[in-house]
Amino acid sequence: MSNPLVRKLERYVHLPEADRLCLAGSIGPERMVAARTDIIHEGDDPRAVNVILDGWACRYRQFANGRRQIVSLLLPGDLCDPHIFLLDEMDHTIGAITPVLLGQISGPALQAAVARSPQLDLAFHREALATAAIQREWTVSLGSRTGIERLAHLFCELHARLSAIGLADGQTCPMPITQNDLGDAMGQTSVHINRTLQELRGMGLITLRSRRLTIHNPAALARLAHFDVAYLHLTAENNRPVARQA
């Protein structure tokens, strides 16, 4: 299977073979990061762009008293911010949720690649804009969606993102995050998350078993969540927009 970063970027812009090879070749030596360990800490000097090649990670902020807020989930193919190397220090922590296979692209290598290729430059810009759009939807969820709508929306989003890079099997996709993780992302307790999961199951909308999520009625779940896939800004392989879930 091709590099997940290449697969992801190709959902925004068609990349010539030379660009795909250049991008894959720019990723430095890979390393494994154990589950529940930090990849890079708040305050560290971000000298390179981290790329999730396999596994799940998250961005989070943590208070001195241990309270944690997950602000985004990082899936295979996701960059831990393509411009992070321009900063003097990290303003958040990135932690592995599962074992993560991590690659790195140096700042100069990334700058050289986009300078050579207008298509790569466009792809990275579209990726950054899509990431910002995802962040806006998370803000909307925390501010305006009810508890059940938040969780339904997250499930719709994660399924769509995993489908885009070939990691969903029909309406079933990996879901290795715990109820505590979901609570930290949704601004709720794990007890509240457990009740919401039971409610979604009782409505016949989902099954969550053995770290796999199955969405039984995608249209109904999308309606419940007020989910419109358009904000992910994905394009199908034929460069036509992916059909919206209504």
Convert the pLDDT of each residue in 83-101 to its tens digit. Answer: 666 665 777 889 999 999 9
Q: What percent of the chain has pLDDT over 70?
A: 91
pLDDT of 24 reads 86
Convert the pLDDT of each residue in 224-243 to its tens digit. Answer: 999 999 999 997 454 433 33
Average pLDDT over every residue of 100-126: 91
Average pLDDT over every residue of 48-60: 93
Average pLDDT over every residue of 31-44: 87
Convert the pLDDT of each residue in 186-237 to its tens digit. Answer: 999 999 999 999 999 999 999 999 999 999 999 999 999 999 999 999 974 5
Strands 48-54 and 212-215, how do they pair?
Answer: unpaired
Residues 64/15, Cβ–Cβ less than 8 Å = no
Burial of 128: CB neighbours in 10 Å, binned 0-12, 13-18, 19+ = middle
Instruction: State residue 174 phi and psi, 5-degree precision.
Output: -60, 145
Report residue 58's pLDDT band, with 50, 70 and 90 as the boundaries.
very high
Convert the pLDDT of each residue in 39-48 to its tens digit. Answer: 887 776 667 7
Look at residues 108, 97, 99, 59 and name the one whose alpha carbon lies nearest to residue 79.
59
Structure-token pair, residue 212? 């796999």
Convert the pLDDT of each residue in 142-177 to its tens digit. Answer: 999 999 999 999 999 999 999 999 999 999 999 999
Helix, strand, coil distribution of the chain in percent, nearest 5: 45, 20, 35
